[in-house]
Structure 1
């Protein structure tokens, strides 16, 4: 599988914002994700992750991209 052609490559952007390093927006998302989990129990944190996965999958809406993401996530773990 040619990983450079996958649609699951990071695509973080905000209209009107310019980032000088490709990873900056991803780092900012990670900080927001960690903040969302602050103060939650393990069970609440797992539920938050489950809801977030379903919301993002619904937003992406492309089954091919979602399959690729699942494959990459499973292979990485």
Structure 2
């Protein structure tokens, strides 16, 4: 699976608003834990180690 790096998210503003809402009222530690769980859930959905490695490399580049 090749990582999609071009805009591909339908209703991206709505997703961003829901992501912010999910973090509302959480402590920094709770927010970090939510992000970690979300990453693991989405990584499981992707299910391809090469694609996940590519995503990690892109994220590390900043």
TM-score (norm: length of structure 1): 0.69
Kindly indicate whether structure 1 or structure 2 has the higher relative contact order, using CA contacts under 8 Å at least 6 residues apart: 2
Pairwise CA RMSD: 1.4
Question: TM-score of the superposition, structure 2-length normalised?
Answer: 0.83
In structure 1, runs of 5+ residues without a counterpart are 1-5, 14-24
Task: Describe the superposition over 1:6-61 as per-residue Cα deviations: whole angstroms up to 9, x where unpaired.
Answer: 52324324xxxxxxxxxxx2222111111100010111001000100000000111
Greater C-alpha radius of gyration: 1
More helix per residue: 1 or 2? 2
Of 41, 54, 58 in structure 2, the residue corresponding to residue 68 of structure 1 is: 54
Runs of 4+ in 1 over 3 A off after TM superposition: none
Gaps of 5+ in 2: none
Change beyond 3 A, Cα 1:11–1:62: farther
Aligned residues: 60
Cα distance in 1 for partners of 2:50, 2:26 equals 33
